Amino acid sequence: MTHLYPHSPACLMHASHVSTSLRRTITLRVGIRAEVAVCAPPPPQQQQRLAGAAGAMPPPPVLRPYLALLPLEEPAVVVQHLPPDACPLLVRLLHCASPLRSLEQLADETGIEMPVLFGMAQHLQLWGKVRVIQSVTQESVFCVHPDAWLRTDDEFERIFGIVEPGYAMVLGLFSSAQRFGSVIRAAEEIQVPKRRLVQMTLYLLQREVIHQLHTYTCAYCFAEPRAPNDADRSAAAEAARSRCRLFRRLRPLFHGEHHLEEIMWQERLSRDVVADLLRTYDEHLITIVTQGDGFSRGRMDVDYQ
């Protein structure tokens, strides 16, 4: 049996190996000057799937400009554990990161170029300091996580006090999937200020008590929707033809792999335009609100043409 003394190189290497295997960050001192932060390499990425339908986008990469960072620790605590020569841009990002700001907004606010910001965000996520989520807006959809701890949370009471609304009442606001804007209005009825509700919501997100849901759409057209006759030059007919052209353009994306935020960003469309399209062609579409990667993490093709 080999005995490892606490300060022996073998003991230090063994401890380093165990820490990186558990994906914990360690700091090694090289000589008497340099300190190097070390963590386990990211897991190998799965091979990129092809697009779900002809003309469709491939599955999106991990980071997009419309995503946001949810800090899992206080910025001051993270900064305190950084090596002395840590990049000032990383410190700036830690202090500005918020799930209320998209990565694109963070890049504008901090002056960090988007590729550099993406790299820093991936490092922070790998180190367990942030989680990449959809930016929190009034259109966000939240629901209590199936595995959430539903009993009274002592830390919640310590942070927000024991006065109403209590932990159970706040969870009740997210008992069913609904827009965050609707949750804000419901909270106002029980006299919970918007700012306080947002703080409570971020607390629940950090601890995965609630989770974010996304809207996916799949086309199941029995026949191609017909546009109005070209002879009709009325404003209503022109609008209908425009919607029909947009539907045909987006149809390759309606196969259950891309949520609406991704489609809106990729195609540079507003939420109102997409919502109008979904209402108009409701009989040709299946829409589902769910967590994760769409219909069972795969493509859903329903086409009976």
pLDDT at 69 over 60: yes
The C-alpha atoms of residue 246 and residue 79 are separated, in whole angstroms, by 48
Instruction: Calculate mean pLDDT across residues 221-225.
Output: 70
Q: Is residue 26 part of a domain?
A: yes
Mean pLDDT of the chain, nearest integer: 80
**Can you read off the two tokens belonging to residue 233?**
């030059």
Say which residue, 219 or 56, is predicted with more confidence: 219
Does the structure show a pLDDT above 50 at 297? no
Regarding whether 198 and 225 lie in a shared domain, the answer is no
Stated pTM of the model: 0.73
Do 225 and 279 reside in the same domain of the chain? yes
Confidence of residue 87 (pLDDT cuts 50, 70, 90): confident
Instruction: Name the residue range of residue 261's domain.
Output: 215-297
**Of 180, 208, 236, which closes a domain?**
208
Q: Are residues 230 and 252 in the same domain?
A: yes
Per-residue pLDDT tens for 1-13?
344 445 566 666 6
Residues 291 and 225 in one domain: yes
Is 71 in contact with 97 (CB distance < 8 Å)? yes
Q: Among the three residues 109, 134, 159, which one is the final residue of a domain in this structure? A: 134
Number of domains in the chain: 4
The residue among 208, 226, 259 that closes a domain is 208
Identify whether 45 is part of a domain: no
* Within-domain flag for 275: yes
Could you read off the pLDDT of 102-125 as tens digits, one per residue?
999 999 999 999 999 999 999 999
In a domain, 252, yes or no: yes
**Stretch 39-64: mean pLDDT, rounded?**
54
Residue 224 predicted with pLDDT over 90: no
Judge residue 37's burial from the number of C-beta atoms within 10 Å of its C-beta, 0-12 exposed, 13-18 middle, 19 or more buried: middle
